Every structure is written in structure tokens, then in C-alpha cells.
Amino acid sequence: MDIPVHQDIKPIIEVIQSEYHTKNKTEIPKYEIGIILGSGLGILSEKIINPTVIETKHLPNYPISTVAGHAGKIVLGELSQRKVIVFSGRIHYYEGYTPQQVVLPVRIMKALGVKGMIVTNAAGGVREDLRPGTFMRITDHINLMGMNPLRGLHQNELGPRFPDLTSAYTPEWGEVADQVAKKQNIPLKKGILGALSGPTYETPAEVRMWRILGVSAVCMSTVPEVIVAAAMNLKVLGISCITNVAAGLSNKPLDHSEVTEIANQVREPFIQLITAILTELE
Ligand code: HPA
């Protein structure tokens, strides 16, 4: 039986360092915060100051994002005076990549020195008040993706064999986000994220199940990245953009164009919220 092995990311880091050096004629600095952008939220990467853009297709054994609304680039630079690495072009499990490949962005940001990650996604609202266009801070998750990205050969440098996820969504960062949102007058709800593998949206019966389980919103991503970040002791702030009400809760069929359209509509407050939070994170 083949035991999954976590990918050696050294060759990827070497290419990033070398492209950085070619462009800036200096060594790559230590970064502070990594940001993973969800469907339709790539706009944030255009706000980066002094950007060094790495096309992920230049990186050895890095998966190609195949989804509309995902760009396939890593932007290194500054935002709100913080040194950030922004991943625009997420790798999803439903694309057929392995769980180990899905979490490469987290491994890369950790190798480049970050202390924490902001992860964003598009999600379907299960709880009644989570209407399209709402932001939800993720306080916890339920993983029904049928996989765990840490399954496989244990490597000490990737964290303990049995990581504790009690505070995977760093409470202190969550409080900062809540306070900033309040100050900025941007409504930010709190909730529990459920994840299925996709690519189908859930059935109405599955949405009823989520509701019984206490899930507020549902997605096809994020959970693997958060598991790996928590195992490596990275702080995590997760923010979902509710792009639709989950299946069966409205009389409209679900469509990916609705997801990107709503994400587009909230780009201004989204940028405002993330940039303001970045200033305050410790
Ligand atoms: N379900 C799962 N994932 C999603 C949804 C949804 O309704 N909307 C955006 N991502």
C-alpha cells in the first residue's frame, strides 16, 4: 500500500527565492502573514505594494488551478505596512489534486517565515441570517471532505502526529477582526464552517443535515489549509464570503457565476476589511 508522502517544497522555495532575487536584486525578506484568496476574491492581490508576482506555473510540481475566478499566482509584497504573501488561485480537492497538494500554499508561506494566515472563501449560507454578500468569521469547522491532509507519513517538521485543533481559528485574531469590522462599520457575523469535497453543491437533504449539525455555512475548501496551518502552529483568521444561500433554501438553482458575481459585488468592503485587520493583527 502506498503511504502518502508530503511533498518536498525546497525546489519550490528555491524558484521563489530566485525569481524574487532576479526582480529585486536583494534576498527575499521574512514574511509576516500569508493570505489565501477564495473564489472571486483575487482582487486583493492587486492592492499589494511593491509586488513581486510569481506565476505558479513556474513552480516545480505545483498544481495548476483549473477553476474560473482563480488566477494561479503568488504575490509577495506589502499591504497595510505588513509583509504579506498572497495566493490568488487556490488548489481545490475537487480538482483531483491530492490533499498534500491542496495545502502547498500553507507549507510555502510557513517556509517563507509567516506567523499566521488569513484564509478566505466563498461559502453557501445555511444559517438563516447568512444572506448573499454577508461576511462570516469562521470560529470552527466540521470536516466532511472525507480526507485529512495530514494523513500519511509523519514528518516532525510538519507538526505533531496528532495535532489539537481546539484553537485552530486563533481566538485572539478573531477578536481583532470583530473589533476592526465594528470600527469600519462592516457587518461581520460569526459561524461554523462545514466542508464537503465538491464539486457538486450539496443536496437539500445534506443542507438540512448541516443545519442539524450546527453548521452556519458550507464550502469546498479552507478546512485542509486550516488543519495544516494549525498543525504547524500558524495563527489563523478565516473569513467566508457568503455568495449564495445553500441548496434548497431558495427556489433558484445554484450556479458558479452567482458565486463570482456576489464576490465581485463585495470587493470594496472585502478589501477594506482585510487591509484594516492586517494593520491590527499581532
Ligand atoms: N456550497 C458549497 N460550496 C460553496 C457554496 C455552496 O453553496 N457556495 C460557494 N461555495
Domain assignments of the chain as residue spans, ordered by start: 7-280
Return the axis-axis angle of helices 267-280 and 256-265, rounded to nearest 10°: 60
| Residue 244 CB less than 6 A away from ligand 1 | yes
Q: Which atom of ligand 1 is nearest to the CA of 220?
A: 3
* Statement: residue 1 has pLDDT above 70: no
pLDDT at 251: 76
**Cα 153 to averaged position of ligand 1 atoms, centre (Å):** 31
* Statement: residue 267 has pLDDT above 80: yes
**Cα 220 to averaged position of ligand 1 atoms, centre (Å):** 7
Dihedral angle sign, alpha carbons of residues 212, 218, 221, 227: negative
| Residue 263 CB less than 6 A away from ligand 1 | no
Q: Which atom of ligand 1 is nearest to the CA of 124?
A: 7
Q: In terms of DSSP bridges, do strands 135-144 and 188-196 run parallel, antiparallel, or are they unpaired? A: parallel
Q: Which residue has the CA at smallest separation from atom 9 of ligand 1? A: 123
Instruction: Let me know if domain 7-280 sits in CATH 3.40.50.280.
Output: no
d(CA 211, CA 123): 14
Query: Hey, what's the cell of 273?
Result: 476589511
Lowest mean pLDDT among 97-101, 261-265, 267-271: 261-265
**Cα 268 to averaged position of ligand 1 atoms, centre (Å):** 21
Secondary structure of residue 50 in the 3-state scheme: strand
Residue entry with cell 485587520: 277
pLDDT tens for 38-59 read 877 778 888 999 999 999 989 9
* Statement: residue 274 has pLDDT above 70: yes
| Residue 120 CB less than 6 A away from ligand 1 | no
| pLDDT bucket at 87, cuts 50 / 70 / 90 | very high
| Residue 44 CB less than 6 A away from ligand 1 | no
Q: Which of 181 and 268 is assigned the larger pLDDT?
A: 181
Contact 282, 177 (CB under 8 A): no
Query: Hey, what's the cell of 7?
Result: 511533498
What is the distance of C-alpha 44 from the center of its chain? 13
As annotated, the active-site residues are: 39, 70, 92, 94-95, 122, 220-221, 244, 256
pLDDT tens for 153-211 read 888 888 999 999 999 999 999 999 999 999 999 999 999 999 999 899 999 999 999 99
Q: Is the pTM of this model over 0.85?
A: yes
Q: Among residues of the chain, what percentage have pLDDT more than 70?
A: 97
| Residue 228 CB less than 6 A away from ligand 1 | no
